[in-house]
Structure formats: C-alpha cells, structure tokens
Amino acid sequence: MESIHVVVLAAGKGTRMKSARPKVLHRLAGLPLIDHVLAVAAALRPQSTVVVIGHEAARVREALAGHAGLSFVVQEPQLGTGHALLTTEPLLAGASGTLVLLSGDVPLLTAETLQTLVDQHVATGAAATVVTAIVDDPRGYGRIVRSGEQIAHIVEEKDATPAEREIREINSGIYAFALPGLFDALRGIAAENAQHEYYLPDLIAIFRKQGRHVDTVTVTNVGEIQGINSRAELAASSRQARHEKAAALMAAGVTIEDPATAYIDRDVTVGADTIIHPNVSLEGSTHVGRGCEIHSGVRIVNSTIGDNVVVLNHCVITDSRVRDGASLGPFAHLRNAADVRNGAHIGNFVELKKTVFGAGSKAGHLAYLGDAVVGEKVNIGAGTITCNYDGEKKNQTTIEDGAFVGSDTQLVAPVTVGKGAYVGSGSTIREDVPAGALAVSAGKQRNIADWVKNRKKK
C-alpha cells in the first residue's frame, strides 16, 4: 500500500467570523472545528500529519497539544492556500505516495468520503483528485470548470465571469495529490488574481497543461463538505451535525422527541430505550445507559449515567456519575465527581459536589452536600447543608448507613454521623454523633403567652 501524508490548512485568519478566536478553534458539536478534521484524517492511518498554522499560531498549537503525532509548520505571512501547502515542503520533500490536503474549516467530512478519495486517486494514478459537490447555492466557493467530462481548472468566485458563477459544481477544498512533482508544480502558481493570493486550486490548470491526469470525486451529501467561514455557516453545520447524531441514535433505539433540539455531542453514547425530551444537551464524553428518561432542559457534561435513571427537568450534571435506577431533579446540580449510587434519589434544589451518595439514600429538597460520603438508605431532610469549607480548606462529612438527618441541619465538617443515628431538626452538628444516638443541638423552645395581644396594646 502506498503511504499517505495528511496536511491540514489552518493558518488563515477567518476574517468573516469577526472573532478574536482563530476560526479553526470555534466549536461545533462540542469540539473545535480542527478536531473534527484531525479525527477524520486519523482514520486514514497516515504516515504523517502536518498542520499549517499562522494566524494566532501559538494558540492553535496549544489547543492541539492533546493530539499525538502532529507536526506543525508556521506560514508567515499567509499568502494563500497554495503558499500554505508550499510551506510544508521542508517536512515532505522526498516523500512518496499520496498527500491528502484538508481544510481546518471543513469539519463534517466523513471517513468514507476520504477513503473513496484516496482509493480512486491511487487507482487512476492521477496527479490530483478534487472532491467536488453540486450545490444549489455555490456562492463563496471555487467553481469547477470542465471541458467535456474532464476538469479543466477551478476559478474562485471573485475571479469568475458571470457565466462561470452560474456553475453549481464547487471545489470542496479537499484534494489528494501525488507527491512526486507536487512542490515543483506549486512553485508555478502565481498570485495574479483578485485577492493577490497564491491559490492552491490553480494547481489543477498547471497539471492539465503538463498533460497529467486530474480526477474528481463528487459527493452527494453536500453538508459533508460545507466550509465554515461565518457564524451563520457555523450554525448551519452545527445543525447538520446534530441532525446526523440524533439520526444515528434513533437508528440504535433511542427515542428523541424533537431531534431539532437534541444537542448531543459527537462522542456521546446513549443506550437503547432511553427517552430524550426536547431541549436536552449531552456534552463531551457523556454516556447514558439504557431505559433512562431525560426530561427537558437537562444539561449533562462529561458524566456517566447508568440504566433506568430518571432525570427530571433542568438538572445540570458535570463530571459526575449516576448509577442504575437513581432519580434526580427537577433542578438538581451534580458536579465535580458527585456519585449517586443505585436507586438513590436527589430531589429539587439539591446540590452535590465531590460527594458519594449511597444506594437507596434520599435528599428530596433544598440541600447542599459537599465533600461528603453518605452511606446507604440515609435520609437527608430539607434544608440540610454540609459546612465543608472552614475558610482555608475543605473538610469531609461522613454520614453512615441508615442515618436520619432532620431538616435544616448544618453539618460542620469534619464530622461523622454514625450508623443509624438521628439528628434532630435545626441542629448544628459540630461533634461526631455516635451510632444509634439522637443528636439535638437546637435550644429548648420557649412560648410567650399573649405576646401578640400585648404588643398591639403598646
């Protein structure tokens, strides 16, 4: 098999985004645009992957620090896509095989299309193979000009004649090139055009003049090759990605009541027979089990939800775990390694932070449990809070199996409520409660007879 080298262009400013953030770092379905491109490139198992950076180079490089095996070249100044590819010559000179050129701003390309591109390119022995599409609205794209069946050249919108602008076959900006002779041909590109840039698509005319074969692969799913140059295009492609993710989940047995408002990131998994109500966001590396019901307004980020879990409206769950058969909400907040065990119940306006909440335990209303370990079958009354922060550090609260904490209790950590112990309502617990004991810290109640009547007289 011939070797494959990938180059991703990401040096441009992205002027039309009107953003301080480099264009390729804008997020689609939870990931920067360029992460989508690198993921699809990785499916080719290339021998090398070079990213061309320039505008805000340091920031882009830093954002890609988590990707193994990338090389970077800095294109400075940015004189166009042809010039961008030329800057990779020191890394690729002498390489043989196929160079696959991807744009950092075309995020929805599929691995299948890329494989078709490479296979066809190698099979035809072409000097270049261009991925094209026939679109309803070709504005903004380079147009594919053919003579007969054969591609003759590509003309950019700004340089096109009115007749050429009518052409609806567009350049996706994705190509395969035969490496031998590529950089010599690139040096033949001139910047004599409306934008005074070195256009990579001009290579097509150069190869044709040399009598070399140039081929095309035309995709039918136009959304796949949609380039992102503006916020509106970002929104359109995001919608498309969402739509496809929802379709894949539904095909795998998930009920999604309104796919248009299901905001589910690419890497999220959801088990069969789970029901997702409108306006739910499942983000990052979130995994939801089977037979769950996720109600409207819920946002789950980087969290794992077991099977048969019910999450009522407007819960926010980040970096946490919820085990089988638990129920949450409405309006519960789980964060920072909260772990709700099997069959437990977390009710409305309850916040859990770095807390293990044992199987079968209940906190039905208005509580804050931070840095706590709560055992099994514990009852946490309304208005209970852990005072976990002493102004300097966080301290742990331990509530053992079967304990009953009355409403409006403050647990001043570090403190332990023993197995099966009871805490009377309105207590401030500063000392450990032994197993089986009742702790009461609120003062004795005093009633002043006729107080209201006497006050009125004054």
Residues acting as catalytic residues: 365
- DSSP letter (8 states) at residue 67: S
Q: How far apart are CA 71 and CA 69, in angstroms?
A: 7
Indicate the helix (H) or strand (E) that contains 27. Answer: strand 27-28
**Residues numbered 229-268 forming contacts with ligand UD1, rule: CB under 6 A:** 229
Site string for Ca ion, 212-231 (x = CB under 5 A): ---------------x-x--
Q: How far apart are CA 145 and CA 199, in angstroms?
A: 15
Nearer to ligand UD1 (CB atom), residue 196 or residue 209: 196
Q: Are 355 and 396 in contact (CB under 8 A)?
A: no
> Which span (17-25, 73-81, 100-108, 287-295) binds Ca ion, by CB under 5 A?
100-108
> Which span (40-48, 197-205, 275-283, 331-339) binds ligand UD1, by CB under 6 A?
197-205
> Which span (196-204, 281-289, 377-385, 413-421) binds ligand UD1, by CB under 6 A?
196-204
Q: Are 144 and 171 in contact (CB under 8 A)?
A: yes
Nearer to ligand UD1 (CB atom), residue 167 or residue 275: 167
Least separation in angstroms between CB 37 and ligand UD1: 9
Least separation in angstroms between CB 91 and Ca ion: 23
> Which span (38-46, 99-107, 293-301, 355-363) binds ligand UD1, by CB under 6 A?
99-107
Classify residue 250 as exposed, middle or buried by CB count within 10 Å of its CB (0-12, 13-18, 19+).
Answer: middle
Residue 391's region, left for phi above 0, alpha for psi from -120 to 50, else beta, is: left
Instruction: Check residue 199 for interaction with ligand UD1 (CB under 6 A).
Output: yes
Q: Which of 49, 78, 355, 409 binds ligand UD1 (CB under 6 A)?
A: 78
Nearer to ligand UD1 (CB atom), residue 217 or residue 385: 217
Instruction: Check residue 10 for interaction with ligand UD1 (CB under 6 A).
Output: yes
- Listing DSSP states for 368-427 in one string gives EEESEEE-TT-EE-TT-EEE-B-SS-B--EEE-TT-EE-SS-EEESSEEE-TT-EE-TT-
Nearer to ligand UD1 (CB atom), residue 154 or residue 429: 154
Residue 30's region, left for phi above 0, alpha for psi from -120 to 50, else beta, is: left
Q: Are 178 and 126 in contact (CB under 8 A)?
A: yes
Q: Please give the size of the binding site for ligand UD1, defined by CB under 6 A.
A: 30
Which of 187, 185, 197 has the alpha carbon at shortest distance from 126? 185
Instruction: Check residue 197 for interaction with Ca ion (CB under 5 A).
Output: no
Instruction: Check residue 343 for interaction with ligand UD1 (CB under 6 A).
Output: no
Nearer to ligand UD1 (CB atom), residue 19 or residue 255: 19
Which of 100, 58, 103, 99 has the alpha carbon at shortest distance from 76? 58
Question: What is the contact surface with ligand UD1 in residues (CB under 6 A)?
Answer: 9-12, 52, 54, 75, 78-81, 83-84, 103-106, 141-142, 154, 156, 170-173, 199-201, 227, 229
